Structure 1
Amino acid sequence: MGGTSSKPVEQAGVAGRSRAITGGGGGQKGKQGLHKLPADTVKAHPEDYEVLEAALAKLLIFNRLDPQLQRRIVQEMYERKVGAGEILMKEGDTGLAASELFVVKSGKFEVLQRRQGQNVRVNMKERCDCFGEISLMYDSPRSATVAATTDAVVWVLDRAVFRYFVREIQETQVSQIELFLNSVPILSPLTKEERMRIVDALEEATYPAGTKVIVEGEGGDLFYIIKDGEAIVYVDTPQGQRKVNHLFKADFFGERALLSAEPRMATVEAYTKLVCLTLRRDTFTEILGPLEKLMTREKSPQVVAQKMAKLQPRGSHVHRPLAEVLIKRRKKGRQGDTWELVRARGHLDEVQELRKGGTKLVELDGQTKDANTLVLTEGPVLGGGAFSRVSIVAEESTGRTYALKRMRKSAVVQCPEHVYCEQAITKNVAHPFCIRQYASFQDKYHLYFLFDLMPGGDLMDVLVAEASVIKHRVPQGGWQVGCLAPKVKMLQGMSEDLARFYIASIVLTLDYLHINHIVYRDLKPENVFIDSQGFTKLGDFGFAKVLENGNRTYTFCGTPGYVAPENVLAHGYNYSVDWWGLGVLMYVLLTGRQPFSTPKTEDPMVVMRRIVDENYQIKYPPYLSPQAKDLIARLLERKPAKRIGMLNGRAHDVMNHKWFEGLNWAELEARRVTPPRKPKDSDSAKRLKELVDVERKTGGKVPKESAEELQDCEMVFADF
């Protein structure tokens, strides 16, 4: 665990450590994760689709699916030959042997069950009969043995395939409808849960071209979202009807009907065949209550309090007793080094859990401390930034080492929301590539977090160690190609294989955070740490934020050079900024430079102007692979809606990119791969020496807060 530094953006030819700024207060990973079929596998033929759909329609789990989804699933079924006398499935089988459903294409099967020690035939299966339905739901032991009585062929449907497509299609459809609802201002007071309830209540209606869906002046109780087709909007004028709008898919109309039966303000006519999702006012009221009350509720003090409460972690410290923390810290003085004891109070649930069975009473200052007292001995500095410093600490009862992040209260009192978000988020994240928080506490002047210790430094340390100046042939004219082109010196970052490992780990991390409604907002090499094995862990969640109900945030924060255009322009943003940050990070790791730093400038505003300028072309070194350049370009798409990671497949689109071809995402997330690079002691040696030198020079210089400032800090962080 470390902090950020305020060094220049470019230093010694390698992208330097950048200072962050703020403007104010499980499952399968993509289709490639599916079981690969043998090369000679025969999939169901198109002429078989209707037969299969009819056969599967008998099954409860299948017949309620959308017809398009049914067709997509049967397209993935394949044939398996079964010889006469061969056992297709065996009673009691579990795991992979119990993960498939079968439909008989030809031949006959007998179904046998063990009864009083004997196999008894209980049924026969012939063409179009199905068996094994429960295997599509979960891993359950086979309830019978099925054996072929003749040479036979079955169609096979694998659970992973079935669940993959059911989830993919349903998530796509629900997300699309939810997105439509998010665009309706009158529904803005609704929570995500409430919007999802509306999704379930929507009904589909179809109107032929030329049909007047609503008529100006008439009453109505229906709200419409266009699912497919086009519509024309007219209003009556003294000169006759006048066209005022042309509506397309995802547009909506009639939303005022959810409030009252007031007369329609315009006529809407189907321009083509029009398919709409509709919601009646009485249905809305039935499932959520009157919309007027929901709109009023949004502004009430109770709702504001509820929103603040959502920032509290599970098992919030509000309900936890405070515990004593003692920090033994070496103090520099004219007479030599001495030890000072800092007393703090805090919440120690996680660290106390780790100490169970291994705690012991600690002798300190001639007194025996209770086993619940946390005693930490502070060691070397690991990192430092504008608001914080990070050092190694040892927990005395167990000897385990951690990273201790310390923040001066007076330095962060103007933006406490960042501190509380970091506290809540790092306590609750549970991903192998995220740093974990074990405790949080405070003394009179400081706030503290106890984190995982990351001895391998950060990605900037790795980049500095791996970057090199190379000679690469660059054509200077039309005739100078290949071996005739002169060699030009240029900076190269780490290898693409090494960068691929790190970037893939971060993709999995972002996917996890976004699924949990967390936008990170400060992705850069200095915030990606390396553990003792060589795996990454994302840390420093000071700018992370929970986005609930599909909300957007407008706070400008991040690091110049890494911020996205929508952040710079204050257009409002969500998870899109993290994918942009990933594109910048990937460019930096591969080239040793930032993508918007040419021509070189020390002015962050120049960099940000380039970021939003669509005419500014990013220059790619010639040694980058086409796949790498393509992925970076798609991540650095200036329009958030078109940016990879924000498209229909979200993170899966990134995972499926050719640059990651051959990567086993499931194994990576399970940490079952061998990291391509082990941490080296020399990686962060230079940086640590610089930090120690800074500490030695400034260690005694601390701000002198007034009594009023200290009281203000105490009030703001009373619930920390």
Structure 2
Amino acid sequence: MTGRAKAITGGAVKGKATLPKLPTNAVKSQPEDYAFIENALGRLLLFGKLDSQVQRKIVSEMYERTVPAGDILIKEGDTGLAACELYVVKSGKFEVLQKRQGQNVRVNIKERGDCFGEISLMYDSPRTATVAATMDAVVWALDRQVFRFFVRELQETQVSQVELFLNSVPILANLSREERIRLVDAFEENTYQAGQKVIVEGDKGDLFYIVKEGEAIVYQNTPGGQRKVNHLFKADFFGERALLKDEPRMATVEAYTKLVCLTLKRETFQEILGPLEQLMAREKSNQVVAQKMAKLQPRGSHVHRPPAEVLIKRNKKGRNGNTIEVVRARGHLDEVLELRKGGTKLEGMDPGASGKEANTLVLTEGTVLGGGAFSRVSIVTEESTGRTYALKRMRKSAVVQCPEHVFCEQAITKNVAHPFCIRQYASFQDKYHLYFLFDLMPGGDLMDVLVAEAKVIKRRVPQGTWRIGCLAPKVKMLQGMSEDLARFYIGSIVLALEYLHNNNIVYRDLKPENVFIDASGYVKLGDFGFAKVLENGNRTYTFCGTPGYVAPENVLAHGYNYSVDWWGLGVLMYVLLTGRQPFSTPKTDDPMVVMRRIVDENYQIKYPPYLSPAAKDLISRLLERKPAKRMGMLNARAMDIKNHKWFENLAWEELEARRMAAPRKPKEADSAKRVKEMIENEKKTAGKTPKETPEELQECEMVFADF
């Protein structure tokens, strides 16, 4: 059974990315070393797939670090700045040590040309081993932000270049920018040698071509023989009529030099945007603009909002027994009043009353649902209405380095309004913490349901000499929840993602642990810490998500949009039905091995024999490695998924209206064990909260002043 997965992020980048500065007095790698370093890095997943010019730019920004004999370069468990670099050994020797049963054991030796720390180029992952110099040594260091700067620069340039090419094609003039961006990922790159014919006059074709590199000659047949009619260079295009209909080619195109073309099939174009004839006939008018997806706007500004006081009452154990501790926090009037909409009026006071009492929110804290050293989630009761909520508390100092995620979660969860998305009712802060007040979801999450429903079964599997299934021996295998139960949950998530995408929001961290169960058995998508608003067809480049669930375009830092959520849905569906992740065979604890499988088109996902053909087909279409061809990203968007055979008898309108009876009601046993574990964890970490310096507290106050 797959365990609980931890989300990670490579760090957010605000606006236009800039090249990070190297450490003071850093000695950059020398030109004579470039080829050697490139060869060493070429074996890595992330580096090996890059354009040679980008590889050279990255290598030129690496710098030397001297490591005297006996010094530790990497310490097992380190995070943050100590875990943001990859190293290539220039000289000397290192031993790699791992702690096993309390003892450091040598597991490897690193010498000239060896590299280590690849996963640090993706995200802040704790170092998995200690690396120490056994003799005086020198390494070349590559910083994560430097690497991702150049990869992002490459992808943005390529996207802009193809978009510019498409702008010059007359028959595509009616496409919006968002539609052109959707086409960018659909192009395939083909190479032709000098003298090779690309298309032949009279032949039928369905490909449209854009010249990326090289030159080509265009010929036409005449009564006097073949005549040259054009010479094509970079950014020129041909064969565009093939996007309209199947008709004979009107000329022959032959490569004059080595020719690299971007090609697009008519079938692919229609899958993504629909028939071109309809798009050409469409007027560029206000009607077209009105069809664009609505954008969520914050309901109110942080500026000039009347302040409000929040009192949090909680039990505190002391030497003389339990006492009531009152924590004072500050919020805003609109958020305090939001809680009272539709609730019980305060005694003798209208929800809109003036005065200090109207500006005060009193919460009584109860059971802790989860937590650790820097955060916790607990049940609270709002005194004026008696309504219960979930209170999420985060230590400011733990999130001050990535405030973008916090503010995105605040804005998005405050404005979402869908039955299958968790809603935020208030946000406030005290000296040390940030708080969110959310819907209370007492039924645990989908991982709790999976643990309760999964079982080991025996199935006859033909193998080896056993060709006939009924004679084959029975094999034990893990089975997740039933397809009927999974269909209810997956269908609900499809509706939630459709709503988010229609409002320009990409979720980015879909997994069982982030899908919560309410008291009636319905699900709500929660934990919007990685969610982000995308506008005008833009992409985002931040690596975030959970290893095993991240999409190929996320792993390779190619820039992505809503496509990653549909990939995540495919992984989630596989996990719910099988109890394991699709890229976990053969079993490995190394996240880089999983990442390689995710991007490797030759890696075949293994489906257990009990899965229905329809389930396998839907999963495979969602786990399409090319985002433009992934189900959910084609012309009909989420409707393609809704109309899939696996959902054949699902009443979508009844489900969204919550008129469909939940097939499984939450049981106390589902989450009781995990809650107990979390409470124990809370006790263990209760005395380990950080002691911030005055300077750190001042920084937190400045960063979160508008929270």
In 2, Cα distance between equivalents of 1:665 and 1:180: 39
In 1, Cα distance between equivalents of 2:479 and 2:387: 39
Residue of structure 2 equivalent to 1:701: 688
- Cα gap change, 1:16 to 1:503, in 2 (>3 Å): same
Task: Determine whether 1:242 maps to 2:231.
Answer: yes
- Cα gap change, 1:240 to 1:516, in 2 (>3 Å): closer
The Cα of 1:335 is off from its aligned counterpart by 4.0
Residues 207-286 of structure 1 mapped to structure 2, 5 A cutoff = 242-244=231-233, 245-249=236-240
Task: Determine whether 1:404 maps to 2:391.
Answer: yes
Deviations 1:523-562 (A, max 9, x none): 0000000011101100100000000000000000000000
- 8 Å CA contact 2:370–2:682 kept in 1: the answer is no
Deviations 1:26-54 (A, max 9, x none): xxxxxxxxxxxxxxxxxxxxxxxxxxxxx
For residue 687 of structure 1, the aligned residue among 674, 691, 706 is 674
- Opposite residue 604 of structure 1, the aligned amino acid is P
Residues 28-107 of structure 1 mapped to structure 2, 5 A cutoff = none
- 8 Å CA contact 1:330–1:340 kept in 2: the answer is yes
TM norm structure 1: 0.60
Task: Determine whether 1:352 maps to 2:337.
Answer: yes
> Structure 1: where are the runs of 5+ without partners?
1-13, 26-178, 189-193, 200-226, 253-273, 289-309, 363-367
- Opposite residue 341 of structure 1, the aligned amino acid is V
The Cα of 1:485 is off from its aligned counterpart by 1.6
Residue of structure 1 equivalent to 2:559: 572
Sequence identity percentage? 77
In 1, Cα distance between equivalents of 2:279 and 2:661: 50
- 8 Å CA contact 1:361–1:369 kept in 2: the answer is no
The Cα of 1:195 is off from its aligned counterpart by 8.6
- Cα gap change, 1:361 to 1:373, in 2 (>3 Å): farther
For residue 362 of structure 2, the aligned residue among 360, 371, 375 is 375
- 8 Å CA contact 2:178–2:536 kept in 1: the answer is no
Task: Determine whether 1:549 maps to 2:536.
Answer: yes
For residue 583 of structure 2, the aligned residue among 596, 599, 603 is 596
In 2, Cα distance between equivalents of 1:608 and 1:575: 20
- Opposite residue 184 of structure 1, the aligned amino acid is L
- 8 Å CA contact 2:444–2:670 kept in 1: the answer is yes
- 8 Å CA contact 1:348–1:440 kept in 2: the answer is no
The Cα of 1:355 is off from its aligned counterpart by 2.2
Residue of structure 1 equivalent to 2:463: 476
Task: Determine whether 1:183 maps to 2:163.
Answer: yes
- Opposite residue 339 of structure 1, the aligned amino acid is I
In 2, Cα distance between equivalents of 1:683 and 1:195: 50
The Cα of 1:508 is off from its aligned counterpart by 0.6
- Opposite residue 648 of structure 1, the aligned amino acid is N
Residues 622-661 of structure 1 mapped to structure 2, 5 A cutoff = 622-661=609-648
- Cα gap change, 1:626 to 1:182, in 2 (>3 Å): same
- 8 Å CA contact 2:372–2:681 kept in 1: the answer is no
The Cα of 1:479 is off from its aligned counterpart by 4.0
Task: Determine whether 1:15 maps to 2:5.
Answer: no
The Cα of 1:354 is off from its aligned counterpart by 4.3
Q: Secondary structure at the match of 1:483?
A: helix
- Opposite residue 232 of structure 2, the aligned amino acid is K
- Cα gap change, 1:230 to 1:684, in 2 (>3 Å): closer
- 8 Å CA contact 1:387–1:412 kept in 2: the answer is no
- Opposite residue 653 of structure 1, the aligned amino acid is D
CA RMSD of aligned residues (A): 3.6
Residue of structure 1 equivalent to 2:69: none
The Cα of 1:371 is off from its aligned counterpart by 3.6
Residue of structure 2 equivalent to 1:563: 550
In 1, Cα distance between equivalents of 2:279 and 2:448: 53
- 8 Å CA contact 2:364–2:382 kept in 1: the answer is yes
For residue 457 of structure 1, the aligned residue among 444, 452, 465 is 444
- 8 Å CA contact 1:359–1:371 kept in 2: the answer is no
In 2, Cα distance between equivalents of 1:479 and 1:251: 50
In 2, Cα distance between equivalents of 1:676 and 1:240: 68
In 2, Cα distance between equivalents of 1:277 and 1:681: 54
- Cα gap change, 1:718 to 1:709, in 2 (>3 Å): same
Residue of structure 2 equivalent to 1:492: 479
The Cα of 1:338 is off from its aligned counterpart by 2.4
- Opposite residue 641 of structure 1, the aligned amino acid is A
Q: Secondary structure at the match of 1:318?
A: coil
From the CA coordinates, give the structure whose radius of gyration is larger.
1
The Cα of 1:322 is off from its aligned counterpart by 1.6
- 8 Å CA contact 1:508–1:669 kept in 2: the answer is yes
In 1, Cα distance between equivalents of 2:625 and 2:178: 32
- Opposite residue 347 of structure 1, the aligned amino acid is H
- Cα gap change, 1:437 to 1:275, in 2 (>3 Å): closer
Deviations 1:614-645 (A, max 9, x none): 11111111111111111111111111011111
In 2, Cα distance between equivalents of 1:322 and 1:532: 33
In 2, Cα distance between equivalents of 1:248 and 1:385: 60
- Cα gap change, 1:402 to 1:20, in 2 (>3 Å): same
- Cα gap change, 1:180 to 1:676, in 2 (>3 Å): farther
- Opposite residue 163 of structure 2, the aligned amino acid is S
TM norm structure 2: 0.61
In 1, Cα distance between equivalents of 2:630 and 2:177: 29
Q: Secondary structure at the match of 1:504?
A: helix
For residue 340 of structure 1, the aligned residue among 325, 344, 363 is 325
- 8 Å CA contact 1:406–1:449 kept in 2: the answer is yes
The Cα of 1:319 is off from its aligned counterpart by 4.3
- Opposite residue 10 of structure 2, the aligned amino acid is G
- Cα gap change, 1:482 to 1:694, in 2 (>3 Å): same
Q: Secondary structure at the match of 2:706?
A: coil
Deviations 1:130-149 (A, max 9, x none): xxxxxxxxxxxxxxxxxxxx
- Opposite residue 566 of structure 1, the aligned amino acid is E
For residue 613 of structure 1, the aligned residue among 573, 578, 600 is 600
